[in-house]
Structure formats: structure tokens, C-alpha cells
Amino acid sequence: MTVSSVNSSAFTPTTLTSLSSLGSNGSTGSAGSPLAMPGVGSNLDVTSIVNALMQVEQVPLNDLNQKEASYDAQLSAYGTVKGALSSLQSALAALNSLSTFQATSVTSGDSSIVTASADGTATLGSYAVHVGQLAQAQTLVAAGQASTTQSIGSGAPTTITFQFGTITGGTLSNGTYSGATFTQDAAAASGTVTIDSTNNSLQGIRDAINAANIGVTASIVNDGSGSPYRLLLQSSSTGAARSMSISVSGDAALAGLLSDDPSGTQNLTQVVAAQSAQLSVNGFNLTSSSNTVSNAIQGVTFNLAQTGSTTVTIAQDSSSATAAVQAFVSAYNTLVSTISQVASYDPGTQQGGPLLGDTGLQTIQAQIRNILGAAIPGSPGGLSSLAQIGVSFQQDGTLALNTSQLQAALSAGASNVARLFTSLGNTTDSLVSYVSSTADTAPGRYAVNVTALATQGSLAGSSPAGLTISAGVNDQLALTIDGVTDGVTLAPGTYTPDSLAAALQAAINGAPAFSAAGIGVTVSQAGGVLTIQSNSYGSTSSVSVSGSAAQSLFGSAPVATAGTDVAGTINGAPALGSGQFLTGAAGNAAAGLQIQISGGSVGPRGQVNFSQGYAYQLNAALTNILSDTGPLAASTNGINASISDIDNQRTALNARLAQVQQNYLAQFTALDTLISNMNSTASFLTQQLAILPAPGALSGSSKA
């Protein structure tokens, strides 16, 4: 006989195999012919007896299986609840973003003239726009060449310097200026290109200019003449302040081809003049260096396409905010329905959900309901509850949305509805702005007091600057600005104080290390004395100079002044100052609240109103609930531990049941053998008794 294997999920009583019949002498029956079942010799049904006994023995195993099925149902229910909570958190993302409530619709009466876009800071209304002139980039063309690959000049190292600025005065005839003045734009960095024997062909010059990425695009055109190939140079930027002045130092042939000073000798011909866009908005005239105009009205960008007049209308677009609120209500109601399914009791079927009575789930549900039912403190505009914007609780615990009431609230003030959901701050002083907050910042109204304004680092010359710059003599300047170091080379020439300040500012701001770090300066002059001022504020703002041009430009004893941080209090406690930013101190209700003081005076500076809306609070709560250390994880981890314990118990119980079955089989097989042997003995005795002579027969025989 054999015992079947025991699996890990349930113990199944084995079906006993046939046993060979043993005779009284221990031999088997007819060769190789087993009896049908154990017990044939004794008529004892060993299989049925053992199976019946094992059914009783495996009752604890069935109990474990039922417990595991219950735990599996709870895990599945928790997974469903977690999915509903995650969906609710996803729906909150749009409500927790200010941009959702700042959406606007922009329409143009004639989009062939002007199109526009607007952000949340734009003032709603209609604007009459007239475009009188479009911005365009200057284009210059050089004299024709017979070949694009033939060398020009001797190949001696030559530097081509491009400066950008404004051409004023004089007259323009056939692409050449007479009596004009060129003023370099201090905001536009100069650029240089080196030409030598490796690239002194028309193609080589074109490729070198384009590779330098200095704000000029070069191309070669063919005009069909005897010397048809002409180098075309176009400024990469539009606007009157992006006219080019080109100086060449080195090979005379290259200088004769490319040098072009609008106020002096011009070897190139202007085919397109640099000009700025001219437009008016509601009668207010302005110019723009670009056809994309973003400084006419706050929050509005006009894209000019052609001259003409039209009307641009900016209106509030509440569709995104409405959709976000509807998505939130739907996600919340799905969560309520999900919890009801897994945690309710059905009197009809007398069955409860797998999480019926689960205290952890009840706590989560109560936490979410408490957040949504509480008022929002610190929210201006008179809004402090969901009911005020048309979102209300129903008797079954779900939410209902009155879209008409929501639309009315958005029309009255979308920013106030936004503050009802998001984490936002607003200030009463126009030069104090809310920047950010942390989880430690409590909602409320906090007084701001400034005791010192932030300042910028600077370096001022001790004497008027020398106005003549000579190559290799006083053209090099090494600077450290805000802790970053780089060097600049000034173009040789004789400057005015204003043009020297403009050239120096352009060179510094164009230096790779400074531009990469977002560092900029402003260079000014007063009475010929130059001052470099860092554009940043605070104790990290500083300027220092050295190099061959340092003394010529700034004198023997320039004065360096380090910047200082803003200082003051928020909510009556000293705040941390960094640059123009004040941050609320730890341990205070305003801890982590950061504001920017961009100007004004010292002393009281109004209040900061800070609120944490429903979406912000609920998102924070859901993040904790859904985290690896949250209540859902704790519950599911506990259930998984219980299932693991059941697996261990089942393994041990299966091993014990297998041994019990073996014992039963051994015992009843022995009994079967014993009974079979006893039956054989009884049969033998019966046979022996049957062949004994009857007592009377023995007596009669002897008489004879």
C-alpha cells in the first residue's frame, strides 16, 4: 500500500491501494493476482475506515483554509479602497494648482493681425490693438566674390568683432548711412570670430560665424553677376537695438570685405534695416524689439503678424476649474461607494463585507470627512466652506455639486475659490510677495516688519575711466561676481563714458561662466567714474576685478561693497534673511513661510494671509494614508503576516496528518492481517474437524 503526497493547500485523505492476499503460510494467492481491496481476506474495509478517520483529523486544516480565504478577501477589499483613495488624490492635483483657476480665453477680432495669450494675472476685458510697424532683423551683404572656396587675404590670424546697438541720426542711401551715430546696447553681448589660413574663404567665414553662435547668422547668396557669391549677415534678433557694427583686426583684405561701422566706414550694404515693432493698446503707444510683445499689459502676450487694427478680448475660462471640481466630487463619491461595499452589512443576505467593523477604515473615512467638513481659516474673499461654492454633503455621505452656484462663485472671484482649495498666501503690501510655505506653516494672518532692506554688491571706481582701450595693453579684465570668476576682453578703440559702460556690461554679461550661472551686472557711469553692480541681492552678492584693464577702468583704489540680506520679523519673531527673502522662524506659527521684500522702506509692511485649502489638506492626509508607513500599509502588513502564519501552521499540520494517516493504515492493515490469519486458522480447524469420524462410527467399527 502507498500514501499519496500531501500538498500545501489542503490535506486530502489518500485512496488506499490494493493489498496482496496473504495465506496462512504467508504466501500470496495465485501468481501475481492481488485482491481487490485491503480487508478482502477479513471483509474489513480499511480504506473507508481510514478515510473517515482522516476527515475528522483534517477539521483544523479546513478551519485554516477558511481563515485564509477571509484574509484574502480583506486584502482584496483593502486593494479596492486603496485604488479609490489614489483616484481621489489624483483628482485633487488639479484643484491644488493655482493655474486651474487662472485659465482665460483669448479671442482676436482678426487673427491675421494679432493673436494673443494670457495667464492668470491678466486683467479681463477688451483691448483695441493697432499695429503700425513689425519688428525685423538687420541684414547686411558683402561685396561679391568669384568663388566660395578661394582664399581671401593672406591667412594671417584675424579677429572679427560684432557689436549690437542702435543707429540714430544721419541719412540712409542705397544701404549706406551718412552722419549716423552707433550706440552699443549694454544688454547685448559682443561676439568675436577668428579667421586664419584654415578658414579664410567665403565658406570658411560663413561656417566660423555660424559656429561661434554670437547672434549672427551667415549665409552665401548668388546674385548671378560676374562675381556672384556674396556673404549675407543677419542679426539673430529683431529690434532697432540689434543693428550690427563689425570691426576687423588683422588681415587688410578681410577688413576691406567685412568691417562695417554705421558711424564711419561701411564695407557692407544694408538690405534690411533693424527696426522695432510699433503698436498701440487702447491708445497707449509703445515699441517692442520683438513681434512677441509681453510688456504691454501684465499677463498678456500679443503676437504681431501684420500691420492693422483689431480687438483682443480676454475673458475668464472657468471650464477647467469646473471640470476639476466635478472630478473631485466624482472621485470622492466613488470612494464612499467603495467603502460601503466592503464595510457594510446586507440584512437581506445576512452577509457583511470583508471589512465590516474595521476600525482603521472607519478612522480614515472620518479623517477625510472631517477635513472636508471644517472651515478654511485665513482664506480671504468671504469663502470658507465647500457649501459656499455649491459642494454639499448628502444624507448617504456622498457629495453633490450645484454647478450654477459654483459658476457664480468663480465669476465673483476665481482666486478666492482657488484659495479655498490650494495652499496660498497674499500680502497687503505691493512690494511684499508670498513665495512659498512648508508643512510647518500654520494657516493665519501674520504681520511683517522690515528692519533692513537687502542690498546689492558693487564695485565703484576711484577715478574716471580711461576711454582708450589698446589690444594687449589694457583690454583684459578678470572678474569675480557672486563668487563666480571669468574674464572678458574689451574691443580696442576710443569710447565715450556711456559707450564704455555699455561695452563693459555687454562683455561681462556675455561671459560664459556668468551667463551659465545666471549672473548678471549693471554697469553705469557718473562723471566718467564706472560702477559695476551685481544684479543679485544679499550677502553672497559681490564684485571684484583685476587684470590689465582694472586700473585704467577703475583707478588705483576702487571701492568694493558687499551686498547685505534683508532683515525683519514675521508674526513678531525674527525671520531668516537671505537676499530679498524672509523666512519664518522655526517654532513659530509662520515657520517656513517665505516672502520676498522687493523694495519699499523699513518698518511695518502689512500682513501675509496664508491659507491651506481643502485640496492641499486632503492631499497631505492621503499621502500619509497611502504611504508605506500609513494605516493601510499597517493593516495589510498585519494580514499578510497572519496569512504567512497560516501557511506555516498548514505545513506543520499537513506533515502531522500524513503521519497520522500512515499510522492508521499500519494499524488497520495489521488488524486486517490478524483477522485474515484468524479466519484462515478457523477455516483450517473447521476442515480438520470435518474429517474426524463421528463418535458412533468408531464404536460400531470395533464391535465388528
**Per-residue pLDDT tens digits for 393-417:** 999 999 999 999 999 999 888 888 9
- Domain end point (choices 493, 528, 561): 561
Looking at residues 265-275, what average pLDDT do you find?
97
How many whole angstroms separate alpha carbon 204 and alpha carbon 231? Answer: 11
Name the domain boundary from 265, 297, 316: 316
Same domain as 528, residue 439: no
pLDDT exceeds 70 at position 698: no
Name which residue leads in pLDDT, 179 or 16: 179
Residue 288 inside a domain? The answer is yes
- Whether residue 385 is contained in a domain is answered as no
CB contact set of 645 (below 8 Å; sequence gap of 6+): none
Say what the pLDDT of residue 119 is. Answer: 85
Residues 187 and 221 both lie in one domain: yes
Mean pLDDT of the chain: 88
pLDDT mean over 289-295: 93
In this structure, the answer to whether residues 163 and 300 fall within a common structural domain is no
The alpha carbon of residue 561 and the mean position of all alpha carbons in its chain are separated, in whole angstroms, by 39
| pLDDT tier at 42, thresholds 50, 70, 90 | low
What's the Cα-to-Cα distance from 182 to each of 223, 224, 244, 369, 597, rounded to whole Å?
Answer: 29, 33, 9, 70, 39
- pLDDT at residue 8 is higher than 80: no
Report the pLDDT value the prediction gives residue 590, as an integer from 0 to 100: 95
pLDDT at 700 (0 to 100)? 54
pLDDT digits (tens, 9 = 90+) for 245-267: 999 999 999 999 999 999 999 99
pLDDT band per the 50, 70, 90 thresholds, residue 687: confident
pLDDT of residue 46: 78
Question: Does residue 56 form part of some domain?
Answer: no
Tell whether the model's pLDDT for residue 24 goes beyond 50.
no
Residue 443 lies in a domain: yes
What average pLDDT does this structure show over 41-54? 76
pLDDT over 60 at 338, yes or no = yes
| Residue 41 banded pLDDT, cuts 50, 70, 90 | low
The enclosing H or E element of 489 equals: strand 484-489
Q: Is the pLDDT of residue 685 over 70?
A: yes
pLDDT value of position 699: 57
Is the CB of residue 566 less than 8 Å from the CB of residue 452? yes
Mean pLDDT, residues 30-59 = 63
The CATH number linked to 462 is: 2.60.40
pLDDT in tens, 296-320: 888 999 999 999 999 999 998 899 9
Q: Which cell goes with 696?
A: 458412533
More confident call, 609 vs 704:
609
295, 434: one domain: no
pLDDT for 72 equals: 86
Residue ranges making up the domain that contains 232: 139-275
Contact 438, 357 (CB under 8 A): no
Decide if 212 is inside a domain.
yes
Say if residues 19 and 669 touch (Cβ distance below 8 Å).
Answer: yes
**DSSP for 25-50, written as a single string:** TS-BSSTT---SSTTTTTT--HHHHH
Confidence tier at 537 by pLDDT (50, 70, 90): very high
Domain count for the chain, please give it.
4
Cell digits of residue 111: 487673427
Q: Same domain, yes or no, for 155 and 251?
A: yes
Mean pLDDT of 40-63: 76
Share of the chain above pLDDT 70, in %: 92
Higher local confidence (pLDDT), 78 or 14: 78
Which strand (E) or helix (H) includes residue 160? Answer: strand 158-168
Question: What number is the average pLDDT over the span 555-581?
Answer: 97
- Whether residues 524 and 579 share a domain: the answer is no
- If you search the block for the grid coordinates 565715450, which residue do you land on? 496
Residue 470 in this model has a pLDDT that exceeds 90 = yes
pLDDT-wise least confident of 46-55, 455-464, 585-594: 46-55
Decide if 39 is inside a domain: no
* pLDDT exceeds 70 at position 292: yes
Q: And the C-alpha cell for 461?
A: 571706481
Per-residue pLDDT tens digits for 627-682: 998 888 888 888 888 888 888 888 888 888 888 888 888 888 788 788 878 888 88
The pLDDT of residue 213 is above 90: yes
Full-model pTM = 0.69
Res. 35: pLDDT tops 50: no
Judged by DSSP in three states, 488 sits in strand
Q: Where would I find the H helices in 96-141?
A: none
What pLDDT score was predicted for residue 150? Answer: 96
* 49-74 mean pLDDT: 81
For residues 200 and 267, state if they share a domain: yes
619 by DSSP, 3-state: which?
helix
What's the sign of the alpha-carbon dihedral 678, 681, 686, 689?
A: negative
Q: Indicate whether 192 and 296 sit together in one domain.
A: no
431 with 473, same domain: the answer is: no
Q: Are residues 159 and 247 in the same domain?
A: yes
Q: Of 492-501, 561-570, 687-696, where does the model show the most confidence?
A: 561-570
> Does residue 174 share a domain with residue 129?
no
- Cβ count within 10 A of residue 551: 19
Q: State whether 598 and 450 are in the same domain.
A: yes
* 119-151 per-position pLDDT tens digit: 878 888 999 999 999 999 999 999 999 999 999
Q: What is the pLDDT of residues 417-445, one digit of tens each?
A: 998 999 888 899 999 999 999 989 998 89
On whether residue 647 sits in a domain, the answer given is no
Is residue 66 in some structural domain? no
More confident residue, 47 or 168: 168
CA 421 to chain CA centroid, Å, is 20
